[in-house]
């Protein structure tokens, strides 16, 4: 079975802090994704990566950056967290153009 894990289930940070969200997959997938989930809006793509050190912006990249130093690990970085970044963050991975598999999510609260 595909396994996608995220480093924290719940995280509370203060405005202005630098925040790292980590995601690891164990299926040697090339593609990895970060989504944000807000009530009534579904999931929106923040960034994705198609290879080590390669990344592309999704639909809502403002205020975020990403890092992929190893194939299995994809990090989402909030350089200076703001209250409007309070949300559920979901990581996913896929092999080429195949199905995306999701992690359990990190619920981030920015105070």
Partner 1 sequence: GEDVEQSLFLSVREGDSSVINCTYTDSSSTYLYWYKQEPGAGLQLLTYIFSNMDMKQDQRLTVLLNKKDKHLSLRIADTQTGDSAIYFCAESFASGGYNKLIFGAGTRLAVHP
SS3 110: strand
Given candidates 15, 20, 70, 104, which one binds partner 1 under the rule CB under 8 A?
Answer: 104
| Binding segment toward partner 1, per CB under 8 A, in 11-19, 43-51, 61-69, 71-79 | 43-51
- Count of chain residues binding partner 1 (CB under 8 A): 28
| Contact flag: residue 94 with partner 1 (CB under 8 A) | yes
SS3 71: coil
| Binding segment toward partner 1, per CB under 8 A, in 12-20, 62-70, 74-82, 91-99 | 91-99
Measuring CA to CA, how many Å separate 97 from each of 13, 24, 94, 100?
A: 35, 19, 7, 9
| Contact flag: residue 22 with partner 1 (CB under 8 A) | no
SS3 82: coil
Given candidates 28, 42, 53, 69, which one binds partner 1 under the rule CB under 8 A?
Answer: 42
Residue 111: both structure tokens together? 């105070």
Count of other CB atoms within 10 angstroms of residue 74: 29
| Contact flag: residue 53 with partner 1 (CB under 8 A) | no
């Amino acid at each position: 079975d595909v396994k996608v894990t995220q480093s924290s289930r719940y995280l509370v940070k203060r405005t202005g802090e630098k925040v790292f969200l980590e995601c690891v997959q164990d299926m040697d997938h090339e593609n990895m994704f970060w989504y944000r989930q807000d009530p009534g809006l579904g999931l929106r793509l923040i960034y994705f990566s198609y290879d080590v050190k390669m990344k592309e912006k999704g639909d809502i990249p403002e205020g975020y950056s990403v890092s992929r130093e190893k194939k299995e690990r994809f990090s989402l970085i909030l350089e200076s967290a703001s209250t409007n970044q309070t949300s559920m963050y979901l990581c996913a991975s896929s092999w080429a153009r195949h199905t995306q598999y999701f992690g359990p999510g990190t619920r981030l609260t920015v105070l």
